[in-house]
Amino acid sequence: MTFEKIIKDIDTLPPLSNAANAVRSMYSSGLEIMSVPSLVRVLESDAMLMANLLKVINTPFYGLRKRILTAGQAVTLLGTHRVYMFVVKYSIDETLKADTSIYGFNTKQFNELCHLQSTLMFQWYSKINMADAKLLSQLALIMESGKLLLANEVKKSDYVGQFRKDFNECEDLSEFEKELIEITSYQISARLFQHWNLERHYIDILEALDYDDEELKRLDYELTKYRNLIDIIITAINVKEVLTEESIKKASIKVEKIGLSKETFEDSANKVRDAYFA
């Protein structure tokens, strides 16, 4: 299993679903002019997509006051930006179809982890900047896609037992992944997004997660900010720790480091955790 093998496999992956590409086409024209009826029609045209969407958004940690039963209700209550990324995530998951048990998560639990990352980003950062919260919560929902591809590669290899042992023992997940394949799974995600022609800013943010101190100094202010915000969410919620007291504390230190209120972050993190584990 090598970095080159993974990249080669990415090049052979099929395009995302027709529904995902249709919604992406609408999204690229601008959320402010996206046709809600057209978006609803796309959702209703794919029964499995719609069933998955309703199952996910009706989970407690989304905090909706009433059960969502239709595509129209989903778009109205969640907004086009979040529904768009739900569609893209569903298509990615269906394309990769990974067994995530090597991380100690079944498929449902891994999917919930991704939604928790997105939910925390939105609930926390919408108190600071709504536009950025929408952008970054979209990325947070799909940024773990690289782990799906990595899981597929590991499961096809003779390395499963060793992977599980080393994964369980590692303290720094990024370093563990770099020792394994030279890059982190977020770099794999970035290459997946390039393959599927997803938004360039998603790719730039994920690539920046692997930059060293000298490379980070060369980033512009906005990209540095986005990179740091995503890093905070990854610290609080990841395949080693999901909103534990320790992971929230470590994330809070990073929040303070960039000049934001740790109390605001911790309040959001605790509310998401309480809703999820209720």
- Give per-residue pLDDT as tens, 118-174: 999 999 999 999 999 999 999 999 999 999 999 999 988 888 999 999 999 999 999
Residues 125, 107: Cα–Cα separation, whole Å: 27
Average pLDDT, the chain: 91
Looking at 2-6, 16-20, 106-110, which range is the least confident one? Answer: 2-6
Mean pLDDT within 115-120 = 95
Q: For residue 230, what is the domain's CATH number? A: 1.10.3210.10
**C-alpha separations of 137 from 81, 82, 85, 160 in Å:** 9, 8, 9, 32
Domain count, the chain: 1
- Look at residue 31 in the predicted model and tell me its pLDDT: 55
Residues 236, 276: Cα–Cα separation, whole Å: 14
Higher pLDDT among residues 164 and 25, named by residue: 164
- Give per-residue pLDDT as tens, 159-194: 899 999 999 999 999 999 999 888 999 999 999 999
Q: Taking a C-beta distance cutoff of 8 angstroms, is the pair 26, 34 a contact?
A: yes
- Look at residue 184 in the predicted model and tell me its pLDDT: 94
The alpha-helical segments, DSSP class H, found in the chain are 3-11, 18-28, 36-44, 47-57, 71-78, 80-96, 107-125, 130-142, 145-155, 160-169, 173-181, 185-195, 200-208, 213-217, 221-236, 245-257, 262-277
- Look at residue 121 in the predicted model and tell me its pLDDT: 97
- Give per-residue pLDDT as tens, 47-102: 898 998 898 888 877 777 788 999 999 888 888 888 888 999 999 999 999 999 99
**C-alpha separations of 8 from 150, 175, 186, 191 in Å:** 13, 23, 17, 11
- Give per-residue pLDDT as tens, 212-253: 889 988 999 999 999 999 999 999 999 999 999 999 999 999
- Look at residue 26 in the predicted model and tell me its pLDDT: 80
Q: Which residue has the tokens 């499963």?
A: 160
- Look at residue 63 in the predicted model and tell me its pLDDT: 72
Domain extent for 70: 3-277
- Look at residue 251 in the predicted model and tell me its pLDDT: 98
Residues 87, 249: Cα–Cα separation, whole Å: 32
Mapped onto helix, strand or coil, the DSSP state of residue 242 is: strand
Q: Which of 24, 31, 42, 167 lies closest to 88 in space, CA to CA?
A: 24
95 DSSP 8-state letter: H
Cβ atoms within 10 Å, residue 275: 16
- Look at residue 159 in the predicted model and tell me its pLDDT: 85
Q: What is the largest CA-CA distance in the chain?
A: 51
Residues 9, 248: Cα–Cα separation, whole Å: 35
- Look at residue 172 in the predicted model and tell me its pLDDT: 93
- Look at residue 29 in the predicted model and tell me its pLDDT: 67
Looking at 19-23, 31-35, 54-58, 67-71, which range is the least confident one? Answer: 31-35
